[in-house]
Amino acid sequence: MTKEESLQLKGIAIMMMLWLHLFGTDKAILAETTKILYINDSEPFIYAMRKFGRMCVVFYTFLGGYGLAKVYQRNATVKGLGIVTGMKNGKRVWNLFKSYWLVMTIFILIATLLQPGKYPGNIMEVALNITALDITYNDTLWFLFPYALLTLFAQPIIKLSTVLRGTWLWMFITFAFIVKTIAYNTKIPFDNLEGIVIRNIFSATELFFMFFVGALFARNSLMERCVTSVKERISHSRITCCLHIGTSTVCTAILLLLFTGRIFMGASTLIDPFYIIPMIIIYLCIERPKWLNSGLEYIGSHSTNIWFTHRYLLVLSGTAIAFFQHSVIIFAVLVIICLTISHIINMTRKAIHI
């Protein structure tokens, strides 16, 4: 998987997140949106798509582990040539938090003017939001601190993916998934500082599985091997030969089946890893037009800023965006606004040198 393809997948992941938070969690906007299709005569299709959108966190975590493992691999190659280098994960986390603090500061200044009784809150609330231990200003950033923990400890995690082999590797993956399941089903009832810290540790434990699997795919070139194998199998399959259709056409059909299947499956996110990895492999097998690749890469390059800002926009605007009524138009407008604000944030960062 190339850097460009990784950006494309990030673009897809952030759009999944936008759809989820626009129609899957914001009932006020959903209520004012025109519904056309229904599932089982009761559930709007645009709401049912939240099940697909919920996979965004698993998506991001896999790409994070994959990307950092590639960096580790590249640095190891450079080190072998006698050049000392490091992963600089601490710097990565620092830059991530600088962007987070910038966006949060802008939001708080605006929100304090609009809702002075609600923001910025008491000293403890401000402190928990600054440290990202408990982000009450923007609940969609709940996995920022756990992901930062995984990034800080990425090097030993990646090394672990290279040391474990055979039976020991499968035993560890099984153990990691069991721990993920336990963490997913464990609710920490305490709202004191100890409970908040424990909740973040449990969240990091839950995300660890896909982060490790992403690193494993990168370290063993599993993605490239899977893509090559799938292409060969499909190109030589009976259905491809009999119907005289290309590999990309078959892969597109499979991708649509996976997408539809996830919508009709249960709401539990425990099955998401078993959807995300095949979907990524099938996507990479498809010959995509240049305009689609470029568009997704462009959105993917702004994915972090969009992650940080989109919920703030929805909180401050209320249901104003539902003025456009139709879901596709509402979604497109939100994407355009998020991209515009992302450019402003990038210009602001350059102006103040952060």
Top pLDDT among 14 and 112 is at 14
Of residues 254 and 26, the one with the higher pLDDT is: 254
Element (H, E) at 243: helix 238-243
* Residue range(s) defining the domain that contains residue 348: 1-53+288-354
> So what's the pLDDT on residue 146?
92
pLDDT-based confidence at 102, cuts 50/70/90? Answer: very high
HSE-up of 129 (CA within 13 Å, CB side)?
Answer: 21
Same domain, 76 and 44: no
Last residue of a domain, one of 220, 251, 276: 220
Residue 157 near residue 65, CB atoms below 8 Å = yes
CA angle 138-144-145, nearest 5°? 115
Q: Are both 76 and 216 inside the same structural domain? A: yes
**CB-hemisphere CA count at 13 Å for 304?**
18
**pLDDT of 81 strictly over 50:** no
**Quick one: pLDDT at residue 267?**
65
Q: Do residues 186 and 304 both lie within one domain?
A: no
Identify the pLDDT of residue 290.
92
Residues 131-172 pLDDT 10s: 998 888 888 898 899 999 999 998 888 888 888 888 888 888
For the stretch 25-33, contacts whose Cβ atoms lie closer than 8 Å and that sit 24 or more positions apart, written own/partner, are 25/50, 26/314, 28/318, 28/319, 28/322, 29/314, 29/319, 29/321, 29/322, 29/330, 32/319, 32/322, 32/325, 33/322, 33/325, 33/326, 33/327, 33/330
Phi, psi angles (nearest 5°) of residue 34: -70, 125
The domain total for the chain is: 3
Highest mean pLDDT among 49-63, 96-110, 182-196, 223-237: 96-110
Q: Report the number of secondary-structure helices (H) and strands (E) in the chain.
A: 18, 2
- Does the structure show a pLDDT above 70 at 110? yes
Highest mean pLDDT among 70-84, 129-143, 255-269: 129-143
Q: What is the value of pTM for the model shown?
A: 0.87
Specify whether 72 is located in the same domain as 192.
yes
Most confident listed range (38-42, 68-72, 144-148): 144-148
Residue type, 75: N
Task: Give the mean pLDDT of the chain.
Answer: 83
Same domain, 315 and 340: yes
Quick one: the chain helix, strand, coil %, rounded to 5? 80, 0, 20
DSSP class of residue 81? T
- 170 in the same domain as 250: no
Using the 3D structure, point to which of 246, 264, 287 is the last residue of a domain.
287
State whether 282 and 153 are in the same domain: no
pLDDT surpasses 60 at 67: yes
Verify that 143 and 3 share a domain, yes or no: no
Whether residue 129 contacts residue 137, with contact meaning beta carbons closer than 8 Å, is answered with: yes
What CA–CA distance (Å, rounded) separates 9 from 14?
9
Average pLDDT for 338-345: 92
Q: Quick one: pLDDT band at residue 82, thresholds 50, 70, 90? A: very low
